[in-house]
Copies of this chain bind each other. A is one copy, B any other.
Amino acid sequence: MLGRIVIDDVHPRTPTRRFPAKAAVGEVVPVSADIFKDGHDVLAARVRVGDETWPLTPVGNDRWEAAIALGVVGAHDLIIEAWVDRFATWRHDVQAKAGAGQDLTTELEEGTLLFERLLPHVPELRRPLVEEAAAALARDSCTVDVRLNAGLDDAVAAALAGVPLPEDVTVSDPHPLWVDRERASFSAWYEVFPRSEGGFGGVAKRLADIADMGFDVVYLPPIHPIGRTFRKGRNNTLDPAPDDVGSPWAIGGPEGGHAAIHPELGSLEDFRVLVDEAKAHGMEVALDYALQCSPDHPWVTEHPEWFHHRPDGTIKYAENPPKKYQDIYPINFWPPKEKDRKALWDACKAILDHWIGHGVRIFRVDNPHTKPTAFWAWMIREVQAAHPDVLFLAEAFTRPKVMAKLAEVGFTQSYTYFTWRNTKQELIDYGLEVTSAPTAEYMRPNFWPNTPDILAGPLRNGPPAAFRMRAVLAATLVPSWGVYSGFELCENEPASDTNEEYLHSEKYEVKERDWTRPDSLVPFLTRLNEIRRAHPALQRLRGLQFHHSNTDQLLAYSRTSADGSDVVLCVVNLDPHQWHEDTLWLDLAALGLPPTVDALDELSGQAFAWDATPYVRLDPAEAPAHILHLRAR
């Protein structure tokens, strides 16, 4: 049976309401619900998580809201409790009747009885006040006015605020909420191929530089042995030279599979040193979790039942006809026998457990959309049940519904379509979509201007100004962003006019780079990450607001901290080739700011005195953007 009070449409939630919504430790999460009942009673309501409660406030149209923040990583149940506020209802009726000059005798008697019923539930400290009010109400000699005042006294009201009679409380179903550690919601990723650095030792040497740039996740593409059968050559060719290194995603060789390390990168001990040194620099190493096998992977011979087979008994390589990927065998996640399925899924999980055992707590998951959603739902739940601090980034470059579903079933963060959102309207639409409910309640975007697979939009043959502009957008539109190394050197050569990949892709060859180049973007990226760390406004997903500009080349948006005290306004020139100017229109009131503000440009150091209609001119040769700290003048 339904409760006495209707509690509906509780947020945060996922689309199907069958998986936990997401929050991070300390993150301010808006909670809301429809709460109503028949009749005219005054209601009260609160959010409960374990023993902690937060009052809900009505905001109109039977909607109630609260802002909560949780401190413990793991699974939580969010419960809404609603009840008739008997004192407020009585008080309202007495006031209405008193206002109309009606007789109050019965109402005051009811008040006395009500106080007696409520008293056992009033916290001890506040009881004397209520007892006194009840006594005053009951006193025959008391004039109506005095009794009325006693009964309506604000101190009594405060003493009775949120005091439900247990039998009055309607309790909602539990709404699951998963709380991650903070890095789940605020992170800066740096992707580096260890073989291009000379292995784990080389990466370790670069850790200080990466940390100095302000990144906190060092993500390594697969570090495992690489197959030789059908190994890809440079530029994704099918006829490799003997010394070609192959794609790290063609996992597995005689040396081992997903739990092994490519011998040329170093030893397991070297890897552990790298993990520890990253930690010493305040960073973490993220590993790639790519569930596919080269034809030389040990599973191919040990567990042929985990693969698809052709009529002649051979194992099927990956294809998307007419495209063929002979160097990769996809896994058959649904082998005909249930015991095989179970063994396979357990083996996949064992890979994660192995690396978790060696100190890894973040996994970047390769092509999750080519594996069953059911598998991820199971896997992530199982892993996080034992290790709630483990985070998963989904490389969900797939259709929108699939991307959203992967987030719903448990992925901590997701790559997004940011790379392909370049015009002003695209950025506004997409920015609002990923930072607002319902999406923001279960999916956390991670904006990457580039990846080893994707050189897109203005970066293709683009000038350094394009790289700066896209970095500003990625770093300030959402709280998590990442770059694939080489970005700071403005590597911009596409494989071809029609191919989104890089020419001389690092996926198929070792790259040597001069990290000391004077024209590198290292100082710029460093400053971006400094600004991100200095501003709470840039560390939360919610709080993005776009402001009006007249030209399609200038994008203006603000981000605001949960308590409203920190406001950052970004004005970005989306055209890396040409200066643009405009008079903006800023909704300062919506930002909790007065009509005139101090605007300190965190990029240039310039200070402006601005009103709601400032003139801006941005020349990409000088700066791609203003990133302004706004304060009341």
A473 at the interface (CB under 8 A from B): no
Residues in B whose Cβ lies below 8 Å from that of A93: 319, 321
A374 partner residues in chain B, CB cutoff 8 A: 1-4
Q: Which residues of B contact A132 (CB under 8 A)?
A: none
Beta-carbon contact of A321 and B96 below 8 Å: yes
Contact status B106-A311, CB under 8 Å:
yes
A310's partner among B6, B106, B409 (CB-CB below 8 A) is B106
Report if A405 contacts B (CB, 8 A).
yes
Check if A322 is an interface residue, CB within 8 A of chain B.
yes
Cα–Cα distance between A97 and B113 once the two chains are bound (Å): 84
Q: Is A498 an interface residue (CB 8 A)?
A: no
A372: chain B residues at CB < 8 Å are 2, 4, 37-38
A109 at the interface (CB under 8 A from B): yes
B-binding segment of A179-187, A262-270, A282-290, A396-404: A396-404
Q: Is A9 an interface residue (CB 8 A)?
A: yes
Chain B residues near A15: list those with CB within 8 A: 8-9
Nearest residue, chain B, Cβ from A39: B370
Contact A402 B62 (CB under 8 A): yes
Contact partner, A38, options B34, B40, B369, Cβ 8 Å: B369
Whether A110 and B370, one on each chain, are in contact in the complex, defined by CB atoms closer than 8 angstroms, is no
Q: Given A61-B400, A321-B93, is A2 in contact with B377 using a C-beta cutoff of 8 Å?
A: yes
Interface size for A (C-beta < 8 A) is 50
Q: Would you call A320 an interface residue if the criterion is a C-beta within 8 Å of the partner chain's C-beta atoms? A: yes
Give a binary string over A62-87; 1 marks a CB under 8 Å from any B CB, 0 the rest: 10000000000000000000000000
A36 at the B interface (CB under 8 A): yes
Residue among A2, A15, A16, A96 with the most chain B CB within 10 A?
A: A2
Query: How far apart are A368's CB and chain B's nearest CB, in angstroms?
Result: 8
Chain B's closest residue to A102 (CB) is B322
Encode A84-106 as 1/0 by CB contact (under 8 A) with B. Answer: 00000000110011011010001
List residues of A (109-126) whose CB comes within 8 Å of B's CBs. 109-110, 113
Interface of A is mostly: mixed
Contacts A38-B370, A373-B38; A6 near B405 (Cβ below 8 A): yes
The CA-CA distance from A36 to B9 in the complex, in Å, is 26
CB distance from A216 to the nearest CB of B (A): 31
CB distance from A36 to the nearest CB of B (A): 6
CB within 8 Å for A321 and B4 given contacts A106-B310, A310-B110: no
Q: Evaluate contact between A62 and B311: CB separation under 8 angstroms.
A: no
Instruction: Tell me the complex Cα distance, A37–B375, Å.
Output: 12
Contact B2 A62 (CB under 8 A): no
Q: Given that A8-B16, A38-B370, A372-B37 are known contacts, is A321 also in contact with B97, CB under 8 Å in the complex?
A: yes
State whether the Cβ of A145 lies closer than 8 Å to any Cβ in chain B.
no
CB-CB < 8 A to A631: which residues of B?
none
| A526 CB, min distance to chain B CBs, angstroms | 39
Contacts of A319 in B (CB 8 A): 93
| Given A62-B399, A96-B322, 17 extra CB contacts under 8 A | A1-B378, A2-B372, A6-B405, A8-B405, A9-B15, A36-B405, A38-B371, A61-B399, A61-B400, A61-B401, A93-B319, A96-B321, A99-B322, A102-B322, A106-B310, A109-B310, A113-B311
Closest 9 CB pairs of A and B: A100-B322, A96-B321, A2-B374, A109-B311, A62-B401, A93-B321, A96-B322, A34-B401, A97-B321
